[in-house]
Amino acid sequence: MMKKILFCLFICVIPSTLFGASFPQSIAFEFQEHGKFTGIIGKAYVTETAVEVVTFAEKSEEVVSFAFIYIIFEKQSQIEGLYNIKCRNQLGVVSTGIIDIRDPQKPKITLTSDKGITITNISNGGRKMKKEFLPKVDLGK
């Protein structure tokens, strides 16, 4: 009986753990609307089943944060490290896009909602905001 349990763990758990471990620790991103920085930056942590997001925005010289979990319900990969995904957050917003971790030192994320809001890698404008309002926070790569 114990051998069956260990075998099942080996077959079921280890591959999913390795898949999740292939993603980088976190990706620094920003929200853009029609290609323009919205003033919202964040940190995305990608797992096998979700993109966990924490956002930071400046309002009246204070930092306001929100957390979102985008559950991945479609995932395709033709090339190792390059994933086309479709996900939905807890507010029902559906986003589609690409997560590219072929270069672990420079991971890329682009997720666009049906309203045209895009989560994409942090730009110079986002880095400037981070440096000003969140100098000690590590957003990732």
pLDDT in tens, 90-115: 999 999 999 999 998 899 999 999 99
Predicted local confidence at residue 5, as pLDDT: 35
CA distance 110 to 77: 15
CA distance 135 to 107: 21
User: CB count, 10 Å around CB of 101?
Assistant: 20
Predicted local confidence at residue 24, as pLDDT: 52
**75 backbone dihedrals φ, ψ, rounded to 5°:** -150, 130
CB 129 within 8 A of CB 28: no
Q: What is the Cβ-side half-sphere exposure of residue 125, based on CA atoms within 13 angstroms?
A: 11
In terms of Cβ atoms closer than 10 Å to its own Cβ (0-12, 13-18, 19+), residue 32 is buried
Instruction: With a cut of 80, say whether residue 7 has pLDDT above it.
Output: no
